[in-house]
Structure 1
Amino acid sequence: MSLSRKRKKELRKLQDQANRLWDSQQVLVGEAASVAREARRQLGNYRREQLVPQAKETYGKYAAPYVDKGLSASRHVLNDRVVPAAGAVVGSALSVWDAANEQRDRLSSGRGLDLSGYGKKLDQYGSAVTKKLSKQVAAIEPQKKGIGAGSIIAIIFGVAAALGVAYAAWQTLRADDELWVADDPLRAPDA
């Protein structure tokens, strides 16, 4: 099928228009990319200059006291509860070890097995350990129920993230006439 000169000329004209449109679209996309890069840079500056200091200040004001309180409570439990209990367990184990060594020495020297004094010692050690453990268990305070430091930190970060998303959406959707592309590309924008 051959085309007439008129049709070929019209097709070349249409091709030229399409190429000009394509070039203008490429320029527009390039400008949009540079605007997006600048917006990303400005958002980074805003985050660094506004959000991070505010988050640090809020953490220091609201969460840091609870974190410090939790750390001091942990230190108190470790030093006043865990270490003494572990010491009692290790001391009991060493006592058993010493008693076993004493019995081994007795057997090796030929004196035989003497179990007469162990019943009384066992009762004595058992009552001492029971008293000590019952004092420690009675001294443990019941845990308070309520919101903890981790929950407060999570709430603060959640609110900060929601505010950041809301601000980014507001910046994106606000009505700046310079940022919007005209609906009718053939008509010049109103000045």
Structure 2
Amino acid sequence: MSLAVVALVLVVVLAIAVALLLGALIEMYRQLEQLRAYLSIEDRAEEIDSTHLAGRRPSAFGLAEHLDTVPAGGVLVLSEKCATCHQLAEWIGPRRARRELQILVVPQSQDNGASFIEEYGLTQHLLVEPLRAGAVSNALGLHTTPAVLFIAEGRFASMETVPSVRRLDEAIGRLATPNVAR
């Protein structure tokens, strides 16, 4: 048998092996997708009922009055007790903080809130001092973190969970336009 025939057989065998492995990889991704859907751990934002907030001014709930005049904006609600909140705060940090996205940190205690804010450099975009944040969160009827509240034309538009950095990035992208609802 010549060397060319051996090489050709080897290439064909390797091509078949690669095709089989690629098919197995595709099947694994499909199974992973099914598991995530079954366990409800999909990376998607869930809308939070905000009918009690719709059309109302943010300052009515203790948020900063300048939010009553913004064409489009949002309030990111974080807590130092949630791992996803830490990931989001780290991703935002002082570099990605944006003027249209204000941050409300709802801490378990004053000290925890202050250290969380300092650790991630969120001071410049902090909306309410941690001491008042719990009262604001209660007034909003919001007991879920992380979440984002969308504001359009100075009024609350909608509210949703933020399960990942990718979803926060999408939410920030929607803040650029006055129609921030989904």
Q: What TM-score do the two structures reach when normalised by structure 2?
A: 0.31
Q: What TM-score do the two structures reach when normalised by structure 1?
A: 0.29
More strand by share: 2
More helix by share: 1
